[in-house]
């Protein structure tokens, strides 16, 4: 019974992922991505990793995909972008990458097929994960902290307004209010000079 659930979840994950890659509408593709991630979460649970399954749902399907959704909405990818997306995706373009991927998949499977090993079927709960994480892996946790901090600083920098101002405020008339205040001292300084 549970084994059947595993294969059903695997099928769902594969099909949903296929739709993520092929869909022309960004919002719909994101919904398919959520489906794919939930299916993988189910698989995690069946493999005896409930903590990973929970994180998959909370962080991946929750936080990261929502972040994507924000950007999609901010960039206002509407009907025109769907049409443009159709124009970009010509059928012939799929052939090369598909062949390449098929070769790789065959190679992958060929490597590990027939090992005749099964997963243990044991539950490895959050307690065991936490003990290992803050035991032997503590350095890696610290490094992950650094990585996230660097990403935070990087994202903040990339999102700063002056990067746009360098090109001139005229490009974004809808943000005029915020720009005008910051640009004013500069303009007067130039006038004096």
Tokens of 73: 């909405």
Give min distance, CB of 33 to other proteins, in A. 6
Report the distance separating Cα 26 and Cα 20, nearest Å.
9
Give min distance, CB of 191 to other proteins, in A. 28
Give min distance, CB of 178 to other proteins, in A. 14
Contact partners, residue 42, CB within 8 Å, separation at least 6: 5, 9, 53
Q: What backbone torsions phi and psi does residue 61 show, to the nearest 5 degrees?
A: -70, -30
The residue (of 93 and 178) whose beta carbon lies closer to other proteins is: 93
Tokens of 61: 């399907």
Give min distance, CB of 122 to other proteins, in A. 4
155 conformational bin, left if phi > 0, alpha if psi -120 to 50, beta if neither:
alpha
Give min distance, CB of 177 to other proteins, in A. 17
The residue (of 144 and 188) whose beta carbon lies closer to other proteins is: 144
CA distances from residue 14 to 7, 36, 55, 96, 120 in whole angstroms, order as listed: 10, 7, 20, 20, 24
């Amino acid at each position: 019974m549970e084994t059947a659930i595993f294969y059903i979840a695997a099928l769902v994950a594969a099909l949903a992922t296929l739709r993520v890659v092929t869909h022309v509408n960004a919002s719909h593709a994101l919904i398919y991505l959520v489906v794919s991630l939930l299916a993988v979460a189910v698989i995690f649970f069946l493999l005896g990793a409930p903590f990973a399954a929970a994180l998959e749902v909370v962080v991946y399907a929750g936080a990261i995909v929502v972040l994507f959704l924000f950007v999609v909405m901010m960039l206002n990818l509407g009907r025109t972008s769907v049409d443009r997306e159709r124009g970009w995706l010509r059928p012939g373009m799929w052939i090369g990458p598909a062949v390449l991927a098929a070769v790789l998949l065959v190679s992958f499977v060929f490597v590990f097929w027939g090992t005749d090993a099964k997963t243990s079927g044991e539950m490895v709960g959050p307690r065991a994960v936490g003990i290992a994480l803050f035991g032997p892996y503590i350095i890696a946790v610290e490094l992950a902290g650094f990585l996230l901090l660097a990403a935070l600083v990087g994202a903040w920098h990339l999102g700063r307004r002056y990067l746009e101002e360098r090109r001139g405020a005229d490009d974004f008339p809808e943000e005029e209010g915020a720009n005008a205040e910051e640009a004013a001292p500069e303009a007067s300084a130039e006038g004096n000079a």
